[in-house]
A and B are shown apart, each in its own frame.
Chain A
Amino acid sequence: MRPILDIQALYKSFGDAEVLKNINLKVGEGEMVFLIGPSGSGKSTLLRCCNRLEEPTSGAIWMDNTNLLAGDTDINRMRQRIGMVFQGFNLYPHMTAEQNVMLALRRVQGKSEAEAREIARRELDRMGLAERFGHYPSQLSGGQQQRVAIARSLALGPRVMLMDEPTSALDPELVGGVLEAMREMKAAGMTMLVVSHEMRFAREAADRVAFMQAGEIVEYGTPAELLAREGGRARAFLGGEH
Chain B
Amino acid sequence: MNALIEQFFNLEVMAQAFPFLLKGLGVTILLTLLLTPLGLALGLALALGSSARHRGLRRAVRIWVNGFRGLPPLVLIIIVYSALPFLGLRTPPLMAVVIALWLNSSAYYCEILRAGLGSVPAGQMEAARATGLGRAQALRDVVLPQAVRNVLPDLASNTIELVKGTSLASIIGVSELLHMASNARSVVYNASPITLAALMYLAFLLPSVRLTGWLERRRRGA
The interface of chain A, by Cβ under 8 A from chain B, is: 51, 53, 76-77, 79-80, 82-84, 86, 88, 90-94, 103-104, 107-109, 149, 152-153, 156
Contact = CB atoms under 8 A, between A and B. Distances in A.
A77 B132 CA distance: 6
Nearest to A51: B130
A79 B126 contact: no
B133 interface: yes
B134 interface: yes
Interface in B108-155: 121, 123-124, 126-134, 137, 141-142, 145-146, 149
A104 B133 contact: yes
Given A53-B126, A86-B126, A107-B137, A92 B142 contact: yes
A92 B146 CA distance: 9
A88 B123 contact: yes
Contacts of A77: 132
A83 to B, nearest CB: 8
Interface of B: 121, 123-124, 126-134, 137, 141-142, 145-146, 149
A84 B146 CA distance: 22
A79 B124 contact: no
A76 B128 CA distance: 10
A152 B124 CA distance: 13
Given A76-B134, A94-B145, A103-B141, A53 B123 contact: no
A13 to B, nearest CB: 19
B132 A108 contact: yes
17 contacts: A53-B130, A76-B133, A79-B129, A80-B131, A80-B132, A86-B127, A88-B121, A92-B124, A103-B131, A103-B141, A104-B131, A104-B132, A107-B141, A108-B131, A149-B127, A153-B131, A156-B131
A107 B124 CA distance: 16
10 closest A-B pairs by CB: A90-B127, A104-B131, A90-B123, A108-B132, A84-B130, A79-B132, A80-B132, A76-B132, A94-B145, A107-B137
Contacts of A84: 127, 130
Nearest to A156: B131
A103 B142 contact: yes
Contacts of A53: 126, 129-130
A88 B123 CA distance: 8
Contacts of A88: 121, 123
A93 B126 contact: no
Contacts of A152: 131
A167 B195 CA distance: 65
Given A92-B142, A92-B146, A93-B146, 11 more contacts: A76-B134, A77-B132, A79-B129, A84-B127, A84-B130, A90-B123, A92-B127, A104-B132, A107-B141, A108-B137, A152-B131
Contacts of B141: 103, 107
B150 to A, nearest CB: 10
A48 B149 CA distance: 29
Contacts of B129: 53, 76, 79
A139 to B, nearest CB: 14
**Which residue among A82, A83, A91, A107 has the maximum number of chain B CB atoms within 10 Å of its CB?**
A107
Contact of A103 (B121, B123, B133): B133
A107 to B, nearest CB: 5
A92 B137 CA distance: 14
A204 B134 CA distance: 38
A92 B126 CA distance: 11
A76 B133 CA distance: 6
B134 to A, nearest CB: 6
Nearest to A100: B127
